[in-house]
């Protein structure tokens, strides 16, 4: 079905959704349209939608409109600085709240000149952070440092690792081939020596 998202500016955007979608899934779809959900609540008339509930729980149907409003909880929160370390060695600092979703952070990083949202990979304590999760889900409730990689960098590293593995496998195959050849050569020498010895013994017996 199609539902409409109306921002406070009056701009309306259509998105595809399913009655079984959770509010959080809808928030992700909205952000994929380039709309920031930072400090925003999703409303159906005057009802604030809970992230874990489904659209069907609110009776939301095809062609219905949802509204984005600045949340009162967000207005009363000062937020904190989150440091994002990059492979280049640089560090980007963004202001966040612990209820922000990971994808909110990615959007901020994209606005700061970082990779596009789909190409970002964020990690906290070695664990990859998922878009729909909130910072508090990873224990981030105050100033912290997380790590960012781009999908392009990861793909490049994986490609380099595959090339190195292929080269190593070729070297191993060459070494094994040489060893097998040497073993066969030795066997042939032993066989030839044994055969000649047998012939020599037969000749010596025939002489005597």
Is the fold of 2-75 the same as that of 80-150? Answer: yes
Topology (CATH) of 2-75: Ubiquitin-like (UB roll) (3.10.20)
HEC-encoded secondary structure of the chain:
CEEEEECCCCCEEEEECCCCCEHHHHHHHHHHCCCCCCCEEEEECCEECCCCCEHHHHCCCCCCEEEEEECHHHHCCCCEEEEEECCCCCEEEEEECCCCEHHHHHHHHHHCCCCCHHHEEEEECCEECCCCCEHHHHCCCCCEEEEEEEHHHHHHHHHHHHHHHHHHHHHHHHHHHHHHHHHHHHHHHHHHHHHHHHHHHHHHHHHC
Topology (CATH) of 80-150: Ubiquitin-like (UB roll) (3.10.20)
Spatial CB neighbours of 94, under 8 Å, sequence gap ≥ 6: 81, 82, 84, 105, 108, 109, 112
Q: What is the pLDDT of residues 95-134, one digit of tens each?
A: 888 778 888 888 888 877 888 888 889 999 889 998 878 8
pTM: 0.49
User: Where exactly are the structural domains of the chain?
Assistant: 2-75, 80-150
Higher pLDDT, 194 or 44: 44
- What are residue 65's DSSP bridge partners? 4
Q: How far is CA 10 from CA 64, 166, 167, 190, 194, in A?
A: 16, 56, 59, 92, 97
Higher pLDDT, 36 or 49: 49
What pLDDT is stored for residue 4 in this prediction? Answer: 93
- Chain length of the chain: 208
What pLDDT is stored for residue 203 in this prediction? Answer: 56
């Amino acid at each position: 079905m199609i539902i409409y998202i109306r921002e406070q500016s009056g701009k309306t955007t259509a998105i595809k959704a399913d009655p079984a979608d959770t509010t959080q899934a809808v928030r992700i779809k909205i952000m994929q349209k380039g709309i920031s959900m930072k400090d925003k609540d999703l409303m159906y008339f005057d009802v604030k939608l809970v992230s874990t509930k489904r659209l069907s729980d609110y009776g939301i149907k095809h062609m219905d409109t949802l509204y984005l409003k600045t949340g009162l909880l967000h207005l009363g929160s000062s937020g904190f600085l989150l440091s994002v370390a990059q492979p280049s060695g640089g560090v980007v600092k963004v202001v966040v709240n612990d209820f922000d979703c990971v994808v909110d952070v990615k959007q901020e990083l994209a606005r700061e000149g970082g990779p596009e949202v789909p190409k970002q990979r964020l990690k906290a304590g070695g664990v990859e952070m998922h878009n729909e999760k909130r910072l508090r889900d990873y224990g981030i409730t105050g100033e912290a440092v997380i790590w960012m990689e781009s999908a392009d960098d990861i793909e490049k590293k994986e490609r380099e690792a595959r090339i190195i593995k292929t080269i190593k496998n070729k070297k191993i195959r060459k070494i094994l081939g040489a060893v097998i050849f040497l073993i066969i050569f030795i066997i042939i020498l032993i066989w030839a020596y044994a055969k000649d010895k047998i012939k020599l013994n037969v000749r010596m017996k025939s002489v005597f």
